[in-house]
Amino acid sequence: MSSPSAVVLAAGEGTRLRPLTKNRPKPMLPAATKPILEHVLDGLIDAGVADVTIVVGYRRDRVQSHFGSTYRDVPLSYVVQEKQLGTGHALLQAEPAVDGATLVVNGDQLVDSRIVRDVVDRHGADAAATLGLIRRADVGAYGGVILEDGRVRDLVEQPRDDRNYLLNAGVYALEPRLFDSIRAAHSRDGEQSLVDGISQAIESGEPVRGVVSEGLWVDATYPWDLLETSLELFDAGVIDGRHEDSSATIHDDAVIRGPVVVGPDCEVGPGAVVGPYACLGENATVDSNAVVERSVVDADTRIGPGATVVDCVTGVGVDVGPGTTIPGGPGDVRVGDRVFEEEALGALLADRVTDRGGVTYVPGTIVGPDSRIESGSTVRGTLPAETEVRS
């Protein structure tokens, strides 16, 4: 495959990342300070991809308005999946845009150019598909692949047996005939799966290859995983140890402790301490004597004077008041009927949460969008959208 084209599947919501995905799809959540999908496109372009078709659906306007018709001089086109009926169904929407062998990549998981290159280099027209694979000790939450002599013998979603699985990294090189296998595969719960289409091809005798890569692969399943995502990007060197945008304003008396990334138009006030492992999105403000550590602070968020923010994920336009304390994890996090124990989450504040200052967040707190918290309150548990908390 020379100068390959790519289809990026970015139509899903990411329901397990609520409430952050109430207003935008998972591919547009921040990995450090850039949307996950932007990292994916960087990986494709760095590997030589010449044009990209993005399948959009849920909150598609957020994707299209952010990227437009080109990204890094590579043309982008869009195909709409009106109803989210599985990855196979999403890919079928893009079939008219595919001419010959093409790459297919999940738009909501970070993959670097090494995985893409490995798949491109290994694929040949004799195979219906070639899968990018990585080694992981536990693949139980993802897709497992059994590989023998370079051939994929079995694909199992969320495997529970003790076979020697490799993890499916969600990077595929596909021949056009694979579309017929997707259509022929049995749908589950009304959805068509790309993985089921590949399994159908294997069952019908088509060769399917796999290539094990040492490239970077990162996925955020739950909101607090965005903290781990930023850590992996720092540790892998994807982000410089201390990156400060030239348009940021950092007071001479502020302390910046790397690794850290400070986005465009940020302001860091006197006596403030930012880092280590802190990510400040565009136009974020850290006021005087505030502390931000091991946190992902999204765009247009203000951390008030003297506030302490540790192990925190914010949405867009959050206002953390003066003297507020988010002391950091671990904490027990409730998501629906499940409780996740001892997660490294101080608090998650969704879009446009405002606290009036002097608020204390119990570790593991999740606050829904557009909530208002009065001064002196103590907040715990999971709060729905538009909640008002009074002290």
Token pair in block for residue 231: 């850590």
Asked whether the predicted pLDDT for residue 3 surpasses 80, the reply is no
Q: Which helix (H) or strand (E) holds 228?
A: helix 225-235
| Bridge partner residues of 212 (DSSP) | 133
Q: Hey, what amino acid is at 146?
A: I
What is the DSSP annotation of 107-132? TTEEE-HHHHHHHHHH--TTSSEEEE
* 171-184 core/surface letters (b: 16 or more CB in 10 A; e: else): bbbbbeebbebbee
Take residue 34 and report the two structure tokens written for it: 């850039």
- Taking only the tens place, the pLDDT of each residue in 196-225 is 999 999 988 999 999 999 999 999 888 899
Q: For residue 78, which of 105, 107, 55 has the smallest C-alpha distance? A: 55
Core vs surface per residue 288-319: b (16+ CB within 10 A) or e:
bbbbbbbbbbbbbbbbbbbbbbbbbbbbbbbb
Phi, psi dihedrals of residue 235, rounded to the nearest 5°: -65, -30
Amino acid (1-letter code) at residue 9: L
Please give the average per-residue pLDDT across 64-76, as a whole number. 95
Confidence of residue 121 (pLDDT cuts 50, 70, 90): very high
Min mean pLDDT across 38-47, 75-84, 159-168, 353-362 is at 159-168
For the segment 278-298, the average pLDDT, to the nearest whole number, is 97
Predicted confidence (pLDDT) per residue in 138-194, tens digit: 888 888 999 998 899 989 888 888 888 999 999 999 999 999 999 988 777 778 889
CA angle 160, 161, 162 (to 5 degrees): 125
Lowest mean pLDDT among 137-146, 173-182, 296-305, 376-385: 137-146
Give pLDDT, residue 53: 96
Closest-CA residue to 208 (of 291, 253, 147): 147
CB 119 within 8 A of CB 173: yes
Instruction: Judge contact between 379 and 359, C-beta under 8 A.
Output: yes
Cα dist from 252 to 245, 273, 322, whole Å: 16, 12, 21
pLDDT higher than threshold 70 for residue 67? yes
The C-alpha angle 304, 310, 312, rounded to 5 degrees, equals 85
Where do the domains of the chain lie, and which CATH numbers do they carry?
Answer: 5-219 (3.90.550.10), 240-389 (2.160.10.10)
Give the tokens for residue 211: 């290539």
Task: Tell me what the mean pLDDT of segment 14-40 comes to.
Answer: 92
pTM, entire model: 0.91
Length of the chain: 391
Q: Which residue carries 């659906």 as its tokens?
A: 57
